[in-house]
């Protein structure tokens, strides 16, 4: 867990202990919330090194989240119903929608049964390169290389590093040292770099995708699921802001068209890869609208407000991730108080 996550966990628990969240006005949490998840699976034995565990929650925690959110008086809705409530301004009760990014096999195996148990609609945003086996999951590949390496000597963005990777702590430090420089490369340079690293360390990059991703049969099974909607998430999970207008449009459109080809239905909802301010902004929002998506979600942190119908292609979300698997912290986040404090104190960062 990063220092940032550790500090924010402490802040959330402090707010919980004060009891202030119980005094927070309902307006702080908007009219609804769209939750963002990635992977849902039992905790694996990571031997102390799990830099991507932030992207995972357990089925038991998801089950507990659904019970908690319902107990707080939220209606479970699909994205279609969320948009309908925004258009018609029907806010007698708050709503919660659940979304999962990328297209992992565990979404079908572990998450879908939990959502079905609670009658909760959910959307799985699929990068079409996941079931096609072409998407290079570079963050998982970086973890795989460091996991097996005793040391890592590499050059990223003209900076050469020589990092020990013997202990779990050293492996985590090596991952942290390389992750953001790699994340900040152009998409083409980033993928070239990870291919070369995997080749040098005898890691099968695309086998990582094959092991983690939904197959097209799995996508079709979810498409037929009573509670699931399939959304689009580009072809190969590129940060759209780094692409030219033409390439960004192609990534968005080709991914959706491939899903339509394989399921028989064009996906009407979209999620921007990475989804932060640096990866998706006004150009991408307009592209999503122009291409005909009914909605598009970001990873910008926050709740859905009554005015969201003005721009349904820039919907914020609340992350359910591995660093905050604690219902006390969930309740604090859902009060809206941490986000209100962050607006008052710009130096405060939220989960």
Q: What's the pLDDT tens digit per position in 58-107?
A: 999 999 999 999 999 999 999 999 999 999 999 999 999 999 999 999 99
Query: How many angstroms separate the CA atoms of 299 and 314, rounded?
Result: 9
Write down the domain spans for the chain. 3-135+213-344, 138-206
27 backbone dihedrals φ, ψ, rounded to 5°: -65, -20
249 backbone dihedrals φ, ψ, rounded to 5°: -60, -40
CATH top class, domain 3-135+213-344? alpha beta
- Cα-based torsion angle of the residue sequence 174, 180, 181, 186 in order, rounded to the nearest 10 degrees: 140
- When comparing pLDDT for 3 and 189, which is higher? 189
Q: What is the pLDDT of residues 275-308, one digit of tens each?
A: 999 999 999 999 999 999 999 999 999 999 999 9
Say whether pLDDT at 337 is over 90. Answer: no
Say whether pLDDT at 167 is over 60. Answer: yes
Count of alpha carbons within 13 Å of 180, Cβ hemisphere only?
Answer: 5
Structure tokens at 129: 């390169």
Distances in Å between the alpha carbon of 75 and those of 104, 269, 326, 342? Answer: 26, 20, 21, 27
Closest CA to 351 of 309, 323, 316, 310: 323
pLDDT of residue 347: 47
Region 211-216: mean pLDDT is 99
- When comparing pLDDT for 29 and 182, which is higher? 182
pLDDT of residue 44: 76
Query: How many angstroms separate the CA atoms of 302 and 319, rounded?
Result: 9
Among the residue ranges 45-49, 192-196, 320-324, the one predicted with the least confidence is 45-49
Structure tokens at 71: 């107990």
Structure tokens at 329: 């912290």
Closest CA to 319 of 346, 296, 301, 337: 301
Helix 337-344 / helix 3-18 crossing angle, nearest 10 deg: 110
> pTM, whole model, 2 decimals?
0.93
- The residues that bridge with 126 in the sheet, in sequence order, are 102, 232
Count CB-CB contacts under 10 A for residue 276: 14
Sign of CA dihedral 121, 216, 46, 11: negative
In residues, how long is the chain?
Answer: 351
Say whether pLDDT at 346 is over 80. Answer: no
Q: Tokens 């707080």 appear where? A: 72
Q: What is the pLDDT of residues 119-149, one digit of tens each?
A: 999 999 999 999 999 999 999 999 999 999 9
E strand map for the chain: 32-37, 39-40, 56-57, 75-76, 95-102, 122-126, 151-156, 159-164, 228-232, 269-271, 295-301, 315-319
Closest CA to 230 of 192, 267, 276: 267
CA-angle at 42, arms to 38 and 44, nearest 5°: 95
Do residues 286 and 272 touch, judged by C-beta distance below 8 A? no
- When comparing pLDDT for 231 and 13, which is higher? 231
Structure tokens at 59: 């089925």
Pairing mode, strands 295-301 and 315-319: parallel
Structure tokens at 278: 């640096």
Say whether pLDDT at 169 is over 60. Answer: yes
Do residues 256 and 151 touch, judged by C-beta distance below 8 A? no
Say whether pLDDT at 348 is over 90. Answer: no
């Amino acid at each position: 867990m990063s220092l940032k996550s550790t500090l924010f966990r402490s802040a959330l628990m402090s707010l919980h202990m004060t009891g202030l969240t119980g005094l927070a006005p309902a307006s702080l949490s908007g009219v609804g919330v769209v939750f963002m998840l990635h992977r849902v699976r039992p905790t694996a034995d990571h031997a102390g090194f799990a830099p991507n565990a932030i992207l995972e929650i357990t089925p038991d925690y998801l089950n507990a989240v659904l019970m908690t959110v319902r107990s707080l008086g939220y209606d479970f809705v699909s994205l279609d119903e969320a948009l309908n409530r925004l258009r018609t301004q029907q806010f007698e009760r708050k709503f919660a929608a659940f979304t999962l990014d990328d297209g992992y096999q565990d979404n079908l195996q572990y998450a879908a049964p939990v959502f079905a148990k609670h009658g909760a609609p959910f959307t799985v945003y699929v990068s079409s390169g996941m079931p096609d086996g072409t998407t290079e999951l570079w963050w998982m590949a970086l973890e795989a290389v460091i996991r097996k390496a005793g040391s890592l000597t590499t050059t990223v963005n003209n900076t050469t590093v020589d990092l020990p990777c013997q202990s779990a702590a050293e492996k985590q430090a090596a991952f942290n040292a390389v992750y953001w420089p790699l994340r900040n490369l152009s998409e083409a340079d980033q993928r070239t770099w990870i291919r070369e690293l995997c080749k040098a360390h005898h890691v099968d990059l695309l086998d990582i995708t094959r092991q983690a991703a939904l197959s097209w049969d799995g996508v079709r099974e979810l498409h037929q699921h009573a509670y699931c909607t399939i959304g689009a998430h580009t072809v190969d999970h590129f940060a759209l802001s780094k692409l030219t207008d033409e390439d960004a449009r192609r990534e968005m459109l080709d991914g959706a068209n491939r899903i339509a080809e394989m399921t028989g239905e064009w996906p009407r909802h979209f999620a921007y890869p990475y989804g932060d301010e640096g990866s998706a902004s006004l150009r991408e929002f307009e592209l999503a609208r122009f291409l005909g998506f009914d909605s598009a979600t970001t990873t910008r942190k926050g709740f859905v407000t009554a005015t969201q119908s003005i721009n349904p292609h820039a919907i914020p979300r609340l992350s359910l991730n591995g660093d905050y698997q604690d219902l006390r912290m969930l309740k604090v986040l859902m009060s809206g108080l941490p986000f209100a404090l962050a607006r008052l104190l710009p130096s405060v960062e939220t989960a």
